[in-house]
């Protein structure tokens, strides 16, 4: 199977080197076949495709900064692999809280362990700001299995509580659940994933009403073709169907899109790699936001969203540096600000 050879030679060739980061994920938009220190937050079993490493993602200190600093380490321990990661924000909880100004996570941490083909993790954060009457608590777990040509994964947020004042709080009504699976079929990579979360908020806007239910739903399924990939080169293209909705008792925001992706990672030398990718919605799809005033609250086709990204990776002995090329979004290469989203990884 050609794709399996590709996996051994290039895409997953991180058993000895943990070359991966937010920069790599951002440069290879939509690449679902990656297994690296960032994808363990989807499937913790990916730790078995990685070597022992320490990684640091550079960014701001505030929990609202983008990019935000985070990082961690992974080592062989207790007959398997164990790691700890600091600063990674829970995307589902952020989506439930951001719209109404509820307090998001501060100083989160995640502990991961796995043996054989399975991996599991627990993530937790707790904060209390007595000076502003704000606070939050988040507790969740992830579990996954990853074999050569297929994987399944799930995550559950058991606790999700946040406050924006002494009299206004948001609580997870039911555990939020994420469930997905991926399968390699020849040169094709098939994937599907869904997330559901429901919380209850005491709101002060857009209307004065207590106990407002908030639903977050995201479903996606698609396929990517890697038939043009060779040793030293990963080339992929594909499409998916994606439904993303945030519903409240008083309004809703939803998007139905058909994102198409094309991407390339090429080894130029044994110490330098270049990356580039392109994504855009294709023909179908619509958006609607009933928080807006009429007629802006009507259903529209998807606005222009063509996005190009480029990145680079430098390797020297056990040290790797990943970054996104700043000009990939502006179209201009500036010597004063050449790279962004930089990350450094050291492999033991």
pLDDT tens digits, 312-338: 999 998 999 999 987 666 666 655 556
Our measurement of the distance from residue 172's CA atom to the centroid of its chain's CA atoms, rounded to an integer in Å, reads 21
Q: What is the mean pLDDT of residues 284-302?
A: 79
What band does 134 get if pLDDT is binned at 50, 70 and 90? confident
The yes-or-no verdict on residue 207 having pLDDT over 50 is no
What pLDDT is stored for residue 128 in this prediction? 86
What band does 17 get if pLDDT is binned at 50, 70 and 90? very low
What pLDDT is stored for residue 332 in this prediction? 62
**3 phi/psi in degrees, rounded to 5:** -65, -35
Which of 3-12, 53-62, 106-115, 131-140 is predicted with the least confidence, judged by mean pLDDT? 3-12
Distances (CA, A) of 181 to 38, 53, 76, 144, 282: 17, 26, 26, 9, 24
What structural domains and CATH numbers belong to the chain?
2-347 (2.40.160)
What pLDDT is stored for residue 22 in this prediction? 87
For the chain, what is the mean pLDDT? Answer: 85
In 3D space, the residue among 229, 226, 227, 225 whose CA is nearest the CA of residue 238 turns out to be 225
Extended strands (E) in the chain: 53-57, 70-77, 80-86, 109-115, 118-129, 134-146, 150-165, 168-185, 188-203, 209-225, 233-248, 252-267, 272-289, 307-316, 319-325, 339-347
**7 phi/psi in degrees, rounded to 5:** -60, -45
What percent of the chain has a predicted confidence (pLDDT) above 90?
Answer: 55
Residues 6+ apart with CB under 8 A from 81: 47, 48, 50, 52, 74, 75, 112, 113, 114, 115, 119
In 3D space, the residue among 52, 2, 53, 59 whose CA is nearest the CA of residue 26 turns out to be 59
Q: Are 122 and 111 in contact (CB under 8 A)?
A: yes
What band does 2 get if pLDDT is binned at 50, 70 and 90? very low
- Sign (positive/negative) of CA torsion 100, 102, 104, 106? positive
The yes-or-no verdict on residue 1 having pLDDT over 50 is no
Question: Nearest 5°: CA angle at 203, between 179 and 165?
Answer: 100
The yes-or-no verdict on residue 87 having pLDDT over 90 is yes
What pLDDT is stored for residue 102 in this prediction? 80
What pLDDT is stored for residue 205 in this prediction? 46
- Per DSSP, the three-state class of 128 is strand
Instruction: Output 182 or 93, whichever has higher pLDDT.
Output: 182
What pLDDT is stored for residue 9 in this prediction? 37
């Amino acid at each position: 199977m050609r794709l399996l050879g590709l996996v051994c030679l290039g895409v997953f060739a991180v058993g000895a080197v943990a070359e991966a980061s937010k920069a790599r994920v951002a440069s290879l938009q939509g690449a679902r076949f990656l297994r690296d220190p960032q994808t363990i937050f989807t499937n913790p079993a990916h730790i078995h495709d990685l070597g022992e490493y320490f990684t640091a993602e550079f960014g701001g200190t505030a929990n609202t900064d983008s990019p935000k600093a985070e990082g961690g380490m992974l080592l062989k321990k207790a007959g398997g692999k164990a790691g700890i990661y600091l600063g990674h924000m829970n995307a589902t909880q952020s989506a439930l809280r951001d719209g109404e100004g509820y307090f998001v996570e501060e100083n989160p941490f995640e502990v991961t362990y796995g043996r054989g083909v399975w991996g599991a993790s627990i993530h937790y954060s707790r904060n209390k700001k007595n000076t502003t009457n704000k606070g939050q608590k988040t507790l969740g777990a992830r579990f996954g299995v990853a074999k050569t040509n297929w994987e399944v994964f799930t995550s559950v947020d058991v606790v999700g509580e946040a406050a924006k004042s002494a009299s206004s709080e948001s609580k997870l009504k039911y555990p939020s659940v994420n469930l997905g699976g991926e399968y390699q079929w020849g040169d094709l990579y098939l994937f599907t994933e869904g997330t559901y979360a429901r919380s209850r908020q005491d709101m002060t806007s857009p209307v004065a009403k207590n106990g407002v239910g908030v639903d977050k739903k995201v479903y996606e399924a698609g396929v990517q073709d890697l038939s043009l990939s060779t040793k030293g080169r990963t080339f992929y293209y594909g499409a998916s169907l994606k439904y993303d909705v945030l519903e409240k008792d008083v309004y809703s925001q939803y998007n139905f899109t058909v994102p198409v992706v094309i991407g390339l990672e090429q080894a130029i030398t044994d110490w330098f790699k270049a990356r580039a990718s392109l994504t855009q919605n294709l023909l179908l799809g619509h958006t609607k936001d009933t928080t807006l005033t009429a007629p802006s609250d009507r259903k529209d086709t998807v606005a222009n969203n063509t996005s190009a990204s480029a990145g680079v990776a430098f390797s020297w002995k056990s040290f790797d540096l990943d970054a996104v090329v700043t000009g990939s979004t502006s179209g201009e290469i500036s010597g004063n600000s050449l790279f962004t989203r930089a990350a450094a990884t050291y492999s033991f």
